[in-house]
Amino acid sequence: MMTNVSMTRQRIEPQSGAAFELRRGETLRVIDPCGEQVADLIAFGGDDRMEWLSSGRSIDYNDTICFTTGHALYSNRSRVMLTIVGDTVGTHDFLYTPCSRETFTLIYKHPGNHPSCFDNLCRHLAPFGVSADAIPTTFNVFMNVAIDGGGNVKVLPPRSRAGDYIEFRAEADLLIGLTACSAELSNNFRFKPIDYEIRRAS
Ligand SMILES: [Zn+2]
């Protein structure tokens, strides 16, 4: 049987986001087109939004907080949602929550409104039936977090260069939320777009 593979490339503009469905067996490549740009990723069950990508379960079953090619990412129900099948950077974070308006108030002392991954995820996931309170810790693609021996964490500039990517294979039908992060510190104080490609077998 012949398999046709089609690729669609999309762009997420700086400090914005997207949500889309990803079917089992499809791959999602998240690309940093300019370098030093973080993308927050979250996944929910394709048919059941009560199933979501779990940082805690993924750490439990991989015995690491450093995720890269070969690692499986689990849901709160301990099922594999995504497998990392390619990674040209090798530095990502699965500890931090998506930046939110409160992040900028509490950490950055930024008064008033500020674009955030949380707001962007809320906006794009709401039409798919995901409420704000249902958004958990995101898989923060290209986010560079240093951890010292005392457990202190520090956000450093991403190691990604223009054209670097990470690629996930969907192990179930999923709803994906994805952003181009809005936090100054995470992106070396310059906001760039994020590209993504979905490879569909048809
Ligand atoms: Zn962010």
**pLDDT one-digit tens code per residue, 10-55:** 999 999 999 999 999 999 999 999 999 999 999 999 999 999 999 9
Please write the tens of the pLDDT for every residue from 59-77: 999 999 999 999 999 999 9
How far does the centroid of ligand 1 lie from the alpha carbon of residue 3, in Å? Answer: 37
Please write the tens of the pLDDT for every residue from 145-160: 999 999 999 999 999 9
How far does the centroid of ligand 1 lie from the alpha carbon of residue 82, in Å? Answer: 21
pLDDT at 188: 96
How far does the centroid of ligand 1 lie from the alpha carbon of residue 143, in Å? Answer: 9
pLDDT at 172: 98
With 0-12 / 13-18 / 19 or more C-beta atoms within 10 angstroms meaning exposed / middle / buried, residue 197 is middle
Burial 65-81 (b: 16+ CB within 10 A, else e): eebeeebbbbbbeeebb
How far does the centroid of ligand 1 lie from the alpha carbon of residue 90, in Å? Answer: 19
Q: Which residue has the higher pLDDT, 27 or 3?
A: 27
The residue-averaged pLDDT of 131-142 equals 98
CA 193/CA 196 separation, integer angstroms: 10
How far does the centroid of ligand 1 lie from the alpha carbon of residue 100, in Å? Answer: 7
What is the reported pTM?
A: 0.95
How far does the centroid of ligand 1 lie from the alpha carbon of residue 98, in Å? Answer: 5
pLDDT above 70 as % of the chain: 96
CA 126/CA 124 separation, integer angstroms: 6
How far does the centroid of ligand 1 lie from the alpha carbon of residue 199, in Å? Answer: 25
How far does the centroid of ligand 1 lie from the alpha carbon of residue 202, in Å? Answer: 34
Please write the tens of the pLDDT for every residue from 88-116: 999 999 999 999 998 888 887 877 889 99
CA 143/CA 157 separation, integer angstroms: 8
How far does the centroid of ligand 1 lie from the alpha carbon of residue 16, in Å? Answer: 9
Helix (H) or strand (E) holding 63: none
